[in-house]
Amino acid sequence: MPKRVLQGVVVSNKGNKTVVVQVERRLMHPVYKKFITTSKKYAAHDGENRLQEGDSVKIRECQPVSKRKFFEVIYDEAAKG
């Protein structure tokens, strides 16, 4: 089964090896047919502690690291340059 990959923005990096990523989705209202933006926060594992608040990141579903963490940060070295 493929792992989910989500894209969002880091809103907190206070924890050790943990970042909180806010992921926004746009969905259409079933009755009014207008687009609504919803957001959800995910705790993700940042093993190298190198992300700062405001960074745009991709996170991938993984085996649970702790009680709340079941996503890990994907480091894309080609995009960093």
pLDDT in tens, 7-57: 999 999 999 999 999 999 999 999 999 999 999 999 999 999 999 999 999
Query: 33: domain CATH number?
Result: 2.40.50.140
Number of domains within the chain? 1
The whole-number pLDDT of residue 81 equals 46
Question: DSSP label at 14?
Answer: -
Q: In 3-state terms, what secondary structure has residue 21?
A: strand
- On the question of pLDDT at 5 being above 80, the answer is yes
Q: Tell me how far apart the alpha carbons of residues 4 and 38 are, in angstroms, rounded to a whole number.
A: 18
Residue 76's pLDDT band (cuts 50, 70, 90): confident
Mean per-residue pLDDT over the chain, rounded: 92
pLDDT at residue number 77: 67
Check residue 79 and give its pLDDT: 57
Q: Which domain holds residue 73?
A: 5-80
